[in-house]
Structure 1
Amino acid sequence: MPILENAHALVVGIANYQFVGGLSASVLRDSMDIYKTLTDPEACAYPQKNVTLLQNEKATGAALRDALASLAAKTDGNSIVTVYLSSHGGRIEEGPHRGEYIAPVDARFDPADPSQLAATAISGDEFSAALAAIPARKVLVILDCCHAGGIGETKSLTPANGLTKGFSQAMYDRLGAGQGRAILASARPEEESYILFGDQNSLFTKHLLAGLRGGVAGEDEFVRIFRLYEYVQPKVTAQQPNQHPRFKSNLEENFPVAFYKGGQKKQIAPAPATTEAEFAYDVYISYTDKEPDASWVWETFIPKLKAEGFDPKRIAVAGEVEEPGVTLILEAERALKSSKRVLMAMSNQYFDDPRATFDFELAQDLQVRQENFRLLPVIFAPGIDENRIPDRIRMYTPSDLSKRTESRTQTLIEALKRPLPTR
């Protein structure tokens, strides 16, 4: 069977800490199962010699630094690199040692002396620098460092003791800043990573493993990064609504993470025909019914669609196509399922609108289950706070119509005319 000769990985799992509270044994199962899946010739097909596994007593600060330096030394611009880290992670909010820290097995923490953690852990800045030194342009960093048990589990993890569990959004931004870097985190900064009753793996890693073992759809022999996240995120959140995996990247391509089932080519059915019988609407426009959003939808964009030959009866607009007297959610679901594409007219107030959020969540769920690409995020006016755009939306490459408006609007309209893209 084929092997991804230039694929490399570092897998870290730490449960039994020497000087701070430990974590569930699932951390060790998670890291071991990731290691086995990456090196399985019938799954990801990484060469075993290229994958380093560090668990418990082997995962010292010195060993982690050496392993990261080794990745930088033995990889090149064409390498695929995966770093999986399941351990304690936290941040000091105030004082001279303020910042994020990854805790190796020999980390020390004393609420009265934050300098101990700073001296024995790996800082976020150090970790970012180590990743930046890796020359590969296909790097995936997977972080499961927001476990329910904190570094100071025997002590209260409150701001009073100077330590907060998990990493800040700013750290995810720094880690994902390098070209060809993608960060996949198990939860939002303020959330925890759950283990469901009866499961052997954490919820996040359970679905990550399922995706790497063949659950992720694709048109070629690879598991690709965007599709991996698109597979994992909705499955995790569906089982635990208080956990939302995060994705941050600086990518020019949907790069391969691993082989699909050892290099098999997935058989994809041809793109479905977009006939009147199949889709009642060519496009469903999701927006917030406030100014200036409403004016752009009704006075600018819809007239352009009509001028391009779109049948007004095949343009669905949120709030206008629902049957009176029927539950709103059911009617919105019916309209979305009946639409070839879902256009999201994004603005700062769009992300505060529960109806708009529902539209996106449902459309993304349809994409995952039906293996197609319905979503078309659009920035229609300048001034949007891009930090408010969730990573799970940003990964679809929003069309920014606030720049080169005419040409980009025409490109968007042409995309609406084409058949529904499939994976």
Structure 2
Amino acid sequence: MESDDAAVLIGISSYRDPSLLDVPAARNSLHAMHRLLTSPELCGWSEDQVHVLEDTAGATDLALELHRLAEETTGTLLIYFVGHGVVSKSGALCLAAGDTQLRYPDLTGLEYDKVRSALLDSPAQVKLVILDCCYSGRIIHGLAGAGESQLVDSTDIRGVYTLTAADQVAHVPSRDETAATSFTQVLCDVVRSGIPGAPPALALTDIYPKLKSTLKARGLPEPNQRGTDTVESYPFSRNVAYTGGTGFRLLPQEHVDRFLRILAAQPHHDLTAESIEKLEDWPGVYLLHRESCDASEILYVARNDRSIAVRLGQHLRKISGRCHIEARDLSFSYLKLDDDLSVVAPERLVLQHLHAQSRSPLWNNSGFGNNDAGRMRDSRRRGGDDFDVLHPIDLSWPVRFDVPTLKVTGHEMAMHLRAQLPYVFRIEAHNAELDRVQLTLPERSLRADRAFRLLAAALGDSWQISALVGQVLMYREQGKRYPSAIRYYAGTQTITEMPEVCKAVGLPDDS
């Protein structure tokens, strides 16, 4: 499912090959970059838009997840990598995954050409790449000598800005377990301090001179940059050191204030299919509200570059399959816009305004906007304010099997469930065993829980269906445990669990 903006943050700090030393600073840098991007006062990305891939073992898994996210992003795509960079015998830069072998980096690492391929295939209008690893500058300059000039063109992709940490060996603090890499630390420091005399919104090209001069003054490796088209002017962060000036502002403050007043004055509509069907396909900004007798609380602020109606329909479907919340208690307001939303970013203006009033929307940094964050995030631990924790999936959701006969294959049943459930049901791909499994449905209408029990019994003990707080997984695995799982189905066994983080809100009785 398409998303307007996505930041893919990859950090590898632990390696199996003893020739590649562990890099605790990579983990610290990954978390520092995540905090920077999601800071409402600075970069303003929502938690939903930032995908953190930490200590991924296999380069193939990294490549697949990167391609998936890149293909689904239509607005701004940011890719950040921190970890070991290794050069293959052919001179190609390879980003080391957890299982990468130093002797065979091209076979076991993520070659930058695969990152380049993801960028080329992505429909994103703005593409930003930040590489914090050794030899990352080689993709900008042909530094490997004769016969390796192909490296010069590695970043020559329309609409891409690339920032790299070092042409040769990057600098990593040797003893401090809490420190970030020098490159990422200085980058974050520059953004958090702002740049006096620079525009109110900082592009990476505004940040680069300060970043380079600071690293050079400390005797550290110097970074490199390259941009194509006008992407280098993309507003990366608010300039906290900006004190006003006489220069032209794309959005003068009086226009921002007027936009906020007009948006606040828009009527609220019930979050129903009927209300959404009346909307035209038009880009704009929208708000979700929770209505009560006393007041209306803003829960979520977002934009859509194509159709507000489509996105609201997706939200309604998601909410309808959740517990502890009713769509009838929610409403939406919206404002159609003609501007290039990837430049104006109206939702960030609204979020900054609300944050300044201590009214930050509850769902904007809770994972509400995510569709399927991917398999590599299934084992992450959830916080108590996570949308999926507060509103876990409803396993009593009714499913209708409109099939010619009640005899179906495992694959047919799984596909019917996936199509009708209002939450993600992820199935192991390309497994012919599902077509060989046969089962007979007791009736055409089943609750999701009963359907999962029947399917698990037919598949046998070698498969496991895991219901997490936010999605359901079905893989050929045994005994796998997930931190946010609420129920497991394996063969004829069903195990219900209460994740620690869910104890405050509890889980519904779906019997």
The structure showing larger relative contact order (alpha-carbon pairs under 8 Å, at least 6 residues apart) is 1
Could you state the TM-score of these two structures normalised by the residue count of structure 1? 0.50
Q: What TM-score, normalized to structure 2?
A: 0.42
Q: Is the radius of gyration larger for structure 1 or structure 2?
A: 2
